[in-house]
Amino acid sequence: MPAESPAVAPLREFIRALPKAETHLHMEGACPFELLQRADPVRHARPPVFWEESFKYTSFNQFMDLYVAYCGEFFTSAERYHDAARIVLATCAAQGCRYVETSFHLPTLLSMKDTGPEVIRAIKAAAPRGLELRVFAGMCHDTYQGAGKDLVDDALSWPELDGIDLHGCEDLPLEPWTGEVWARARRAGKFTKAHAGEFMGAGFMERILDELGVTRIEHGIRSVESQATLARLRREGIALDVCPLSNVKLAVSGIRSMADHPIRRLFDAGITVTVSSDDPFFLNNTLTQEYEALHRDLGFSRSELVRVAENSLRVALVPEHVRGAWLNELADVAVRTAVAE
Ligand code: ADE
Ligand code: ZN
């Protein structure tokens, strides 16, 4: 008998104690309901229908319509982004996040008097002490036209901006400007990533890799449909920022419940996967619940959850000494709290 056997923490406490990163989080989709209620108490007197346990979106368009209906009129200033980010980031930190990568929808700026740099600084000023935050500009397949084109070109020169992300309706055509802008962003020192393989298949992921040159894909779950794409992700060390509960609620590619989710197969195939909450206001989920669901529904052991947390720290955009300190801390927590499976 060892003199002292480490305690086995309850699962939720174990997950909270893991230093980890949330790398796929839309600020508008994380909008705290209390802020919407404060802004319009009559309209938001009741909890949203999409918070009901059994609620499923019928399509991505319905999801986007609700996005606009609930949040379209909220994000009208840098101050509003700041107020939302303060609550959202405190919630992340309380769940053990050391790093958050959040995006805001760039075209929102087209109808706002505050500038992009002001909005980004407002979001960054909301980060609690000890939380590393990177802010990305999200744009859609059809953003680069009219005033949107000038905005994208301008954004690449903002020192406050850490990266860009392609989001929105995945089945709109991938236009030729995208690859050129993604390459230009990297030359300007920005990190680039893109949503793919959520609604479109592995072939579209291959196009995103070829044409945009990204090394991280948001979702990317439909890569399981192609052994060649899986081999490529492994060979090129492409990481997938997966949001399992989001995929269930949006009924992506026939996923009706967590038991159907391919993240187990991706993980077992040696792909670098992380988990994130995507749009916690619209999905009624938390990062903790994402980890819990991996354990409960897909049989991820505690040491496998540690590996998922480790993946998230490995993709974080931080200096190596910061990552090293987090990884040491993660190893300590794993030993102290995860002895029994
Ligand atoms: N924007 C916000 N959530 C998204 C998702 N799940 N897919 C694509 N674009 C999004
Ligand atoms: Zn997303």
285 lines ligand 1 (CB under 6 A): no
Tell me which residue has its CA closest to atom 6 in ligand 1: 278
Q: Give yes or no for a contact between 257 and 250, defined as CB atoms under 8 angstroms apart.
A: no
Q: Are 94 and 136 in contact (CB under 8 A)?
A: no
CA dist., res. 28 & res. 64, Å (int): 11
Ligand 1 midpoint to CA 14 (Å): 29
| Integer angstrom CA distances of residue 190 from 165, 181, 193, 298 | 10, 11, 10, 35
- The stretch 302-326 carries a mean pLDDT of 98
Residue 278 in contact with ligand 1 by CB distance below 6 A: yes
Distance between first and last Cα of the chain:
18
278 neighbors 243 (Cβ within 8 angstroms): yes
Q: Which residues, other chains included, contact 330 with Cβ-Cβ below 8 Å and sequence gap of 6+?
A: 18, 19, 20, 306, 309, 310, 313
pLDDT at 5 exceeding the cut of 50? no
Residue 286 is encoded by which pair of tokens?
A: 């938390």
pLDDT score recorded for residue 1: 37
Is pLDDT above 80 for 22? yes
Which class in CATH covers the domain with range 8-340? alpha beta
Span 265-289, mean pLDDT?
Answer: 98
Distance 335 CA to ligand 1 centre (A): 36
Which DSSP letter does residue 160 get? T
Edge to edge, the sheet with strand 97-105 lists 20-26, 97-105, 132-139, 163-166, 191-196, 216-219, 239-242, 272-275
| Number of other residues whose CB lies within 10 A of the CB of residue 320 | 8
DSSP letter string, 249-303: HTTGGG--SGGG-THHHHHHTT-EEEE--B-HHHHT--HHHHHHHHHHHH---HH
Contacts 24+ apart (CB under 8 A), 182-190: 182/211, 182/212, 182/213, 182/214, 183/213, 184/156, 185/156, 186/213, 188/156, 188/157, 190/156, 190/161, 190/162, 190/163, 190/164
Nearest 5°: CA angle at 131, between 308 and 165? 65
**CA gap 141, 106 in Å, rounded:** 12
Q: Where are the domains of the chain?
A: 8-340
Query: Which residue among 108, 167, 221, 253 is best mutated to probe the pocket of ligand 1, counting the most ligand atoms within 8 A of its Cβ?
Result: 167
Please give the mean pLDDT across all residues of the chain.
Answer: 96
Active site residue 28: no
- Residue 315 has a pLDDT of 98
More reliable by pLDDT, 5 or 115: 115
- Which tokens belong to 174? 């991938």
Ligand 2 is an ion; its neighbours by CB within 5 Å are 278
The per-residue pLDDT for range 190-240, each reduced to its tens digit, is 999 999 999 999 999 999 999 999 999 999 999 999 999 999 999 999 999
pTM of the model: 0.96
Phi and psi for 285 in degrees, rounded to 5? -125, 170
pLDDT per position as a tens digit, 55-95: 999 999 999 999 999 999 999 999 999 999 999 999 999 99
Q: Which residue has the tokens 């859609």?
A: 140
The alpha carbon of 37 and the centre of ligand 2 are apart by a number of angstroms equal to 24
| pLDDT at res. 254 | 87
